[in-house]
């Protein structure tokens, strides 16, 4: 099962893993299609099974992140009570993903709070790592000169 390949789910009880697996929906998407858009209502959390996805934020995708490893996740906005996604996810190749509805995942973790705590601690770590990578990308773009001044 793909969730067993994801660091996010490592160490969760077999019962929780089984319950999550029962609630996942498999999808296939063609190259160039968008799985989510930053204007869409944030209802699902996604795990990449195969393919390559570019996450982009803002007009013309000014800030991007590449998802290309099986088990990588996206669509976290749905898990942290945001109304819409914070990024768009475009398939750079044909992709297979699994998704789970945020309410179903929340219910699973309400029934097993220890697994929920472990999951969200790992999620916070992954979000923090991506944030640090984004900072590095921004600093590299300005080549040490710092961001432009607007005032």
Domains, the chain, ordered by start: 2-139 (2.60.120.10)
Lowest pLDDT segment from 17-21, 62-66, 123-127: 62-66
Amino acid 63: pLDDT: 67
* pLDDT per residue as tens digits for the range 36-85: 999 899 999 999 999 999 999 877 656 678 899 999 999 988 898 889 99
Q: What letter would DSSP give residue 80?
A: T
pTM of the model: 0.84
Supply the DSSP string of 85-150, one letter for each residue.
-SSEEEESS-EEEEEEEHHHHHHHHHH-HHHHHHHHHHHHHHHHHHHHHHHHHHHHHTTTS-SPP-
Q: List the beta bridge partners of residue 40.
A: none
């Amino acid at each position: 099962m793909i969730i067993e390949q994801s660091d996010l789910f490592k160490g969760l009880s077999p019962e929780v893993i089984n319950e999550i697996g029962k609630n996942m929906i498999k999808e296939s998407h063609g190259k160039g299609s968008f799985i989510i858009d930053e204007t869409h209502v944030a209802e699902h959390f996604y795990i990449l099974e195969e393919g390559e996805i570019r996450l982009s934020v803002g007009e013309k995708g000014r800030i991007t992140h590449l998802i290309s490893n099986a088990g990588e996740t996206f669509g976290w906005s749905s898990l942290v009570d945001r109304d819409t996604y914070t990024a768009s996810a475009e398939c750079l190749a044909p992709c297979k993903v699994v998704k789970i509805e945020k309410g179903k995942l929340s219910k699973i973790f309400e029934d097993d709070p220890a697994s929920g705590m472990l999951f969200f601690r790992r999620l916070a770590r992954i979000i923090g790592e991506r944030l640090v990578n984004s900072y590095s990308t921004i600093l590299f773009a300005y080549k040490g000169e710092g961001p432009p001044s607007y005032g």
